[in-house]
Amino acid sequence: METEDGLSDVFAVNVPAPYLLTALITPPRRLVYLSSGMHHSGDTTLRDPQWATRPWQGSQAYSESKFHVTALMLAVARKWPQVLSNAVDPGWAATKMGGSGATDDLRLAPVTQAWLAAGDDAALVTDRCFHHQQPCPPHHATQSPEVQDRLLKYCAELTDTDTAAAYFNEREVGEAIARSDVDRCEIFVTTKVWIGDYGYDSALRAFEVSLRKLGIEQLDLWLLHQPLPSDFEKTIAAYKAAEKLLAEGHVRAIGVSNQTPKQLDELISHTDIVPAVNQIQVHPYYTQPEWRAANESHGILTQSWSPIGGSYVYRGADTNPLDPRHRRTRRTRPRLAQPGERRLPDPRLGTVKHLSNKPKNESTKERNDHESPAHEEAVRIRCDLSGSRRHRLGTVRVRRDRVCGCAARRQPRQDRSRIRLRHRRRP
C-alpha cells in the first residue's frame, strides 16, 4: 500500500521489527524501546493493526504503532523480570512528522537512551517510560497483561520461514518445523530453486528434493532465486515448471527473486501466470523505487530481503546488483592492526584502504610516487570463508608499503591458489 505521507510500512518498522529483534537475542541486562507521547491516542483494541481494511490515517497509524511498542516493552518487563525493560519518549521533536514548529530538542532523546542503557541509580528500573530522563506514565491499557498477550500472539502469527536450496539448510528447517509446537498451517514456508537447476525438468526434480528435505507435503511459496541472464530461456523454462506445480496444487504460490524490471517484462511475456512475489533487497539505505514501481505495475508483491540493512553496498540507486560489471563490497568492519602488529587486512573485506600512516619525513615526491598507478596491484586471493567447504575468490587492492608495512606481489598464474607475502622493514 502506497500513501502520500510515505508511512505505509509504519507498523512493520515500529512493531514487528523490535518484536523480532527482541525474540532473536539472548536476554540482555537492559532493553530500551522507542515510544512516543502520541501512543496515548492509539486504538487499544488491536483492531486491524496493519490497516488492511480501514481508511488510511498516517498520524493515527503512527500513534497505534507506538501504543503497540509500549505494550511490547511492558510485556518484556513482565516475562523477563531479569531484564530492565524501559521506553523513551523523545517528545515533540522537529522530525518529518513533528514539523518545524516542534518544541523539543531531538538531541536529548539519545541522552535518555544512553542513560537507561548504562546509567546507575534512577536508571536501574523496569517497565517505565521516560521523557528527558523524567518518568512519564504510559497509557493504562498498555499495562494490561491481556492487551500485551494479544499483541504478542498477533506478532507471533506473522510467520514466514524463508529458506533456499542454495542456503544448504532446507533439511534443518524441516526438522525445526517438525519439532515445533506450532501447527503447520500457521507457518508460511518459502524456498527457492537455484540457477544450477534451471530448465523445465531440472526445476521439477529440484522441487521434489526441496520438498523431501523440508518434510512437508505442500509448499506455500516457491521462488526462482535469481535470473540467469546468460541463458534466460532456462529461467523461463524453470518458471513454466513452477506454473505446472501450481496447477497441480503442490505449491500455493509462485514467484521470482532479484528480477529487474526488464527481466520481469520478458518473463511475463513468455509465461501464463504473473509472479505473485518478486523478492528483492529493500531497506532504508537502498529503497529501489524503480523496481518496486515495476512490481506494482504488474500487480506483483515486493518482498524484501535484508530489510533492516543490506549485505552489500552498490554504486548508485540504479545499479543492478546482479550485474557482474558492477563492483560489490561487503559491509564489514575491518579489524585494525594492533600497535606493533604487522599484517594484511582480512581479504574477505573486499576493497581495502591502507591502515597505517606513512613516515612524517616523507617528501612530497615520494608520496606522489607511492600514489601512482604503477604502485597499485590487484592481488587474487583465495580464501576459505567461515570455514566452509566452499571457497571463493576475492579481489583485494593493496598499495605497496602502505598496508602495515607489507608488500604483496602478483603471483604467477599457475600459483594463484596461494598468496605469498614478502615482508620488509621500513627504511
Is 90 a residue whose pLDDT tops 80? yes
Beta bridge partners of 84: 30
Is pLDDT at 106 greater than 60 in this prediction?
A: yes
Question: What number of CA atoms fall less than 13 Å from residue 337's CA on the CB side?
Answer: 18
258 pLDDT higher than 90: yes
pLDDT of 99: 66
Average pLDDT, stretch 174-185? 87
Q: 188-213, pLDDT tens digit by residue? A: 999 999 999 999 999 999 999 999 99
Cβ(72)–Cβ(17) below 8 Å: no
167 as an active site residue: the answer is yes
Does the structure show a pLDDT above 50 at 93?
yes
Average pLDDT over residues 31-48: 90
Write down the pLDDT at residue 374.
Answer: 36
Statement: residue 276 has pLDDT above 50:
yes
Alpha helices in 225-319 (DSSP H): 232-247, 261-269, 289-297
Candidate ranges 22-36, 94-108, 234-248, 338-352; pick with highest mean pLDDT? 234-248
pLDDT at 96: 65
| Whole-number pLDDT of residue 267 | 97
The larger pLDDT score, comparing residue 251 to residue 320, is at 251
SS3 398: strand
Domains and CATH numbers, the chain: 10-156 (3.40.50.720), 161-312 (3.20.20.100), 332-423 (no CATH)
Percent of the chain with pLDDT over 90: 46
Among 140-154, 232-246, 283-297, the range scoring the smallest mean pLDDT is 283-297
Q: Please state, in angstroms and rounded to a whole number, the distance separating the CA atoms of residues 220 and 190.
A: 6
Q: What is the mean pLDDT of residues 299-325?
A: 64
pLDDT at 120: 87
- pLDDT of 418 over the 80 cut: no
b/e per residue 23-33 (b: at least 16 CB within 10 A): eeeeeeeebbb
Residues of the chain above pLDDT 70, percent: 68
pLDDT exceeds 70 at position 171: yes
Note the pLDDT of residue 157.
79
DSSP string, 121-177: GGGS--SEEEETTEE-PPPGGGG-HHHHHHHHHHHHT---EE--GGGT-HHHHHHHH
* Residue 364, pLDDT score: 37
Catalytic residue among 167, 239, 285, 286: 167
- Predicted confidence at residue 286, as pLDDT, reads 80
Answer with the residue of higher pLDDT: 195 or 101.
Answer: 195
- Angle 408-412-415 (CA atoms, 0-180°, nearest 5)? 90
Asked whether the predicted pLDDT for residue 235 surpasses 50, the reply is yes
> 149: exposed, middle or buried (C-beta count within 10 Å: 0-12, 13-18, 19+)?
middle
| pLDDT for residue 378 | 33
Asked if residue 373 has pLDDT above 50, the reply is no
Residue 364 is given by DSSP the state: H
- Confidence (pLDDT) at 277: 96
What local confidence, expressed as pLDDT, does residue 260 receive? 94
The residue among 391 and 278 whose pLDDT is bigger is 278
User: What is the rounded average pLDDT for all residues in the chain?
Assistant: 76
Lowest mean pLDDT of 51-60, 253-262, 274-283, name the range.
Answer: 51-60
Average pLDDT over residues 4-12: 65
* 391 has pLDDT over 70: no
> What is residue 252's predicted lDDT score, i.e. its pLDDT?
96
Tell whether the model's pLDDT for residue 225 goes beyond 70: yes
Question: Using alpha carbons only, what angle is made at residue 316 by residues 321 and 327, rounded to the nearest 5 degrees?
Answer: 50
